[in-house]
Structure 1
Amino acid sequence: MNRRIDNIRLKNLERLIKEANSAANLARLAKTSSSYISQVRNQLNTATGTPRTIGNELSERLERCMGKKSGWMDLEHEDEPLQSEEFSAPKAKEYARSECSLLPLITWQRAANWPEVHEPRIDYDTEHLLCPVQCGENSFVLEVQGSSMEPKFRDGEMIFADASLKPQNGQYVIAHDLNTKEAMLRQLVIDSGRRYLQALNPDWPDKIIEMGSSITVSGVVIFKGEPV
């Protein structure tokens, strides 16, 4: 792709951000991560040292989600009026919530630090999966490992977690220990103001542990092939 097209696409990206009222709204509409939009917008370097550009796949996503004709991203539109009234903030939010969100599949090591590292280190090379339920911007996907949560969660299953939700009693959460840097899938139990993490497997050692000051929740599980 030549430099001229790269520059035109960058200008058109800024135009679409204005029409969607924010980069976050545009990312939701395009079913991509706001961190990736930010990386492209600021032309952050890739692993090979070259600036990130708007590739054909992202270009087509942006055209489709904003109702533009195919090839719109490659043409200059400086003299055309903005269409921000079509994608006002409330309407864009409603539209985004009606669509599946594209979420990053991360490692358990990354999940242990997710509140701190999710922005802006996720790049478009990370595998993304569609979440068919409403979720927050900082949601993520994990592959279940081990048998601690059987029979409800089995080894190899994909689980979707939302980092923006406040965990409630009985919900399944991704928790991590700040001391050991380990993340785990457990059920949250709140009893008399004290919080515990429970493994569902009756044969699991340390089936219930109390959440001390070193243990925090990275996200609440919202989907695993069926609503949770």
Structure 2
Amino acid sequence: MKISDTRLQNFRRVLAEKKLRLTDIADLLSKAPAQVSAFGGKNPTKGIGDQIAREIERALHLHSGYLDMPYGLGEFNNATLLSHTGRKLPVMGSIAAGAWCEQEANFDPRDAEEWIDAPGPVGPRAFILRVEGMSMEPKFIEGDKIVIDPALEALPGHFVAAKRTSDQAATLKQLRQEGGEQYLFALNPDWPDRIIRMTEEWSICGRARWKISDL
């Protein structure tokens, strides 16, 4: 797929997820609706260039390069991700990850179990959560490494890292919504506390982006 097709596909998906119209994007970019329609409308007459792509990402609070990534590339499959960006991310268990989630916390690099290459473009606060326990089996098993990116918006249906205030520990769960309430859901049908209502006791650290598996 050409980069222009990838950007257009991602652009349309983000608009649908955020329930935005082309006129909303025009306002955010301070451009005429016709200009936005030319690259993002039903029948675009030109592709989304580098400059416009970065402007869209900034306006929608997406990390730089987000529109360039094929959607779902390596996302939650069992393949080892070989591509990298030259940037390394810390691998952490639940307690260290909980500390990392605090914006003002001073993170000691020695708290990371290891540092491994980021599989693709990620935000500045991205990290890798090592799964602990069996609550997310069979999709995620203990020891799996999950790239968590706080720069990505977490919506119902996404897998997220959530932190509990009482013990400052982070855990991987699926975010779900019923009516006006949001819940953290454990995939394992035998897990005793499968459904946790989102209260002040919990906060979302970031959205899960990739699963990195060792061969």
TM-score (norm 1): 0.52
Partner of 1:153: 140
Partner of 1:106: 92
**3-state SS of paired residue (1:105):** strand
CA contact (8 A) 1:118 1:138 kept: no
- Give ranges in structure 1 of 5+ residues lacking alignment: 1-89
Query: Where in structure 2 are the equivalents of 1:47-62 lying within 5 Å?
Result: none
Counterpart-to-counterpart distance in 2, 1:180 and 1:123: 21
CA contact (8 A) 1:133 1:223 kept: no
CA contact (8 A) 2:131 2:171 kept: no
Change (3 A) 1:124 1:206: closer
Say which of 176, 201, 206 aligns to 2:188: 201
Say which of 107, 113, 116 aligns to 2:102: 116
Aligned length: 133
Counterpart-to-counterpart distance in 2, 1:179 and 1:199: 19
The one-letter amino acid of 1:116's match is E
Change (3 A) 1:199 1:136: same
The one-letter amino acid of 2:120's match is V
Partner of 2:206: 219
- The root-mean-square deviation of aligned C-alpha atoms, in Å, is 2.5
Structure 1: 4+ residue segments shifted above 6 A: none
Query: Where in structure 2 are the equivalents of 1:37-186 lying within 5 Å?
Result: 100=85, 101-116=87-102, 120-123=106-109, 126=112, 127-186=114-173
- Give ranges in structure 2 of 5+ residues lacking alignment: 1-53, 55-63, 70-83
Change (3 A) 1:124 1:179: closer
Change (3 A) 1:141 1:148: same
Partner of 2:57: none
CA contact (8 A) 1:143 1:158 kept: yes
